[in-house]
Amino acid sequence: MYIVPLAWLYVALMMAVAEATSSTGTVLGAVITFVLYGLLPIGLVSYVLTAPARARAIKEKEHEQAQGRSEASKAPSALQPDAGGEPAADPVAPVRKEP
């Protein structure tokens, strides 16, 4: 999967080295060659080709979050003690004054 981008970067690197070592070339020209012929095209192609995988990961994450919300809404909450179907009762009996 990564053999073609690595090969392209190798070719771009060799082009840059050839330009840097040429009698009419410069190091700045070699850097520009490597960036414009190597890094930018590979970065752009990699970004475009991984777009479906990123979209699939986002959908899976949203699906997991939706499942978590639906399960949380079905489960009784700690804030609602009567959600279990038990009758309400005071844990401590009320204290009254004797008449």
pLDDT in tens, 6-31: 999 999 999 999 999 999 999 999 99
Let me know if residue 14 belongs to a domain. Answer: yes
Let me know if residue 99 belongs to a domain. Answer: no
Let me know if residue 81 belongs to a domain. Answer: no
Distance from C-alpha of 86 to C-alpha of 74, rounded to nearest angstrom: 17
- What tokens were used for 54? 């990123």
Let me know if residue 10 belongs to a domain. Answer: yes
How many folded domains does the chain comprise?
1
Taking Cα atoms as reference points, which of 50, 49, 46 lies closest to residue 38?
46
Q: How far is CA 17 from the centre of its chain?
A: 36
Q: Is the pTM of this model over 0.75?
A: no
pLDDT in tens, 35-77: 999 999 999 999 999 999 999 999 999 998 888 776 656 655 5
Let me know if residue 75 belongs to a domain. Answer: no
Residues of the domain holding 15:
3-68
